[in-house]
Every structure is written in C-alpha cells, then in structure tokens.
Amino acid sequence: MIFGFPPKYVKNITVPELSDKQLFIIAIETIEELKWNIDSLFKTECVAITKFSWRSWSEEVTISINNGSIRLKSACIESQLIDFGKNKKNVTRFVSTFNRMKEELSLADIEAKIVKLENSLKAAVSIY
C-alpha cells in the first residue's frame, strides 16, 4: 500500500537487445492487451489510463523509453491518498505482459508495426 498525494509507483527495466522504436511498439501492444486507453503518444513516451472500477478511480501509467531503458510510472489520477497496491499491480501487470508480448511478436511483425505507425503519424501530420 502506497501513501502520498497522489500515490504512485515507479520501476525501471532495461531491454538493451531492442531498439527504442521496437520497445515502443511492444509497449503499445502491451497497453492494448491490458485494455488500457492510450491517452497520449510522444516520440519517447506513451501515457495510458487504466479502466475505472469499484476498486480504482483509474490510474495514469506513463511509459518512457530511452536507450533501451523503460521507466514505468503508475499514479492515481483522482485525489486519492492511498492506492491499496493498485499502482504497483499496474506496473507488475505491464512488465509481465510486456515480456510475454516481446516473446510472442516476431521482429518482422514489430518492424511492420513500426512502418504502419510511422505512416499513420505522417498522414495525421499532413492533415494539419
């Protein structure tokens, strides 16, 4: 149980064998697998929102990727003083699902998803 305002849990993991783009794709696939909502995407960071439930008012999970290192931070969104272990659970679920997705996705699949995402972003930027 973590106390604070807002309560949060942070963990760093290292995956030096993959590029940051590859890690980013696996992170997005992990978020989708966990059925969290993507709130924002940046070049080196993704922010997801967990589902609202009777135990949680939702948490914001920030995934920052830099040089093969991933920084995960889960923090309560609302004015909660205690998280009842939910933030640590979010990070633990992300890491275990990420590791499974890393094993399930082939490098060819990951590269294809990188191209698709880059093309989508280029199309979105050209609209504006």
Is pLDDT above 80 for 89?
Answer: yes
Q: Does the residue 3 lie in any domain?
A: no
Global confidence as pTM: 0.87
Segment 65-76 mean pLDDT: 95
Using only C-alpha atoms, what is the Rg of the chain? 15
> Residue 40 pairs with which residues in a beta bridge?
47
Q: Is the dihedral of CA 75, 57, 38, 23 positive or negative?
A: positive
Indicate which CATH number applies to the domain containing 29: 3.30.310.80
* Number of structural domains the chain divides into: 1
Range of the domain at 90: 8-127
Q: Does the residue 1 lie in any domain?
A: no
Q: How many Å apart are CA 15 and CA 6, to the nearest integer?
A: 29
Is pLDDT above 50 for 1?
Answer: no
Specify the pLDDT at position 104. Answer: 96
Q: How many Å apart are CA 67 and CA 64, to the nearest integer?
A: 10
Is beta strand 8-14 parallel, antiparallel or unpaired with respect to 59-66?
unpaired
Segment 17-36 mean pLDDT: 96
